[in-house]
Amino acid sequence: MWTGKLAVLYEGQGDSLAFAQLAERLNVPLRNTAQADVLAEPFFLCWRDGCLKLLDRELLRKGGLTVDIEPRNGEQRSYPAPKQGALAQALGRKTRTVVDATTGWGQDSLFMFRMGYQVSCIERSPIMAELLVDGFHRLNQQDWMQRLQLSAPELSTGNAIDLLAALETPPDCIYLDPMFPPKRKKSALAKKAMVILRDLLGDDTDKDQLFTAALQAAGKRVVVKSPDDAEPLGGKPNESFSGKLVRYDIYLKG
């Protein structure tokens, strides 16, 4: 899928073996900064500032994108954070266990984790999985995580449709945040992270099959996050809650 699109970039700092092993796992070339003028790939992975980062050519000199383990603006820093807002309403008061079947950059997974839910993650892109493993490793090293004897969410890599069917215990909720095609009118709010992810991985073309698999595997409910103007993925939901520019559609079992 990403042949010719991605390389691992070694910038002369850190253990070069780790870079070589990453390139081997992803079956992509290993480049170095001496080749900067002739780099053929539009995207790169490299370790900078203690984080694994995803770069495009614009970001080669600007830092890069990484899985951010810090609370987003407006989120509580305490643990567990209060179960407030549209996402918490959509998950339901009795929900304890959540499988995020479309983890991506992990921001919703980490938000749910910080609210005290027992979160498991599925990510089908090996590229994103590498970034998530790095982020969750950094999370486990945080003082508050160690003090409270917490562990980052468990991560499974693979096709969520297959992995959901193989779950031994149905989670209370399965959470879906598939990539929808961009709006015709491009929003200035479109985040660089999502733009790069879409350019590298493409849209989720099997959203309908994923929804069906989630509804079969969930114990109590499926929650689908979508743009506020998108058609509901699973037909008319039982209930919906709206956040800023997004909507959470709830589909109850039974």
Residue-by-residue pLDDT tens, the chain, 254 positions:
566 889 999 998 888 999 999 999 999 999 987 766 667 889 999 999 999 999 988 777 788 899 999 988 877 778 999 999 999 999 999 999 999 999 999 999 999 999 999 999 999 999 999 999 999 999 999 999 999 999 999 999 999 999 999 999 999 999 999 877 665 444 443 477 877 777 777 766 789 999 999 999 999 999 999 988 889 999 999 999 998 889 999 999 97
Q: Which residue from 83, 84, 85, 86 is spatially nearest to 96, judged by alpha carbons?
A: 83
Q: What does the alpha-carbon distance between residue 246 and residue 254 come to, in Å, rounded to a whole number?
A: 26
Place of tokens 């945080």: 142
Beta bridge partners of 99: 120, 174
Residues 115, 138 contacting (CB under 8 angstroms): no
Which H or E run contains 242? strand 239-242
In the block, tokens 């031994």 appear at 168
Residue 147 neighbours by CB under 8 Å, 6+ apart: none
Residue 35 main-chain phi, psi, to 5 deg? -95, 10
What's the Rg (C-alpha) of the chain? 19
Interhelix angle 126-140/192-201, nearest 10 degrees? 140
Question: How does strand 6-10 pair with strand 30-32?
Answer: parallel
Contacts of 212 (CB under 8 A, 6+ apart): none
Nearest to 206 by CA among 248, 234, 178, 227: 178
Rounded to two decimals, the pTM is: 0.92
- Residue of 189, 41, 173, 32 whose CA lies nearest to 99: 173
152-212-121 Cα angle (round to 5) = 5
pLDDT tens sequence across 117-176: 999 999 999 999 999 999 999 999 999 999 999 999 999 999 999 999 999 999 999 999
Give the closest residue to 192 by CA, choosing from 69, 62, 70, 49. 62
Terminal CA-to-CA distance of the chain, rounded, Å?
38
Within 8 A by CB and 6+ apart from 211, the residues are 176, 222, 224, 233, 234
Query: What domains can be seen in the chain, in order of their start residue?
Result: 6-59 (no CATH), 85-252 (3.40.50.150)
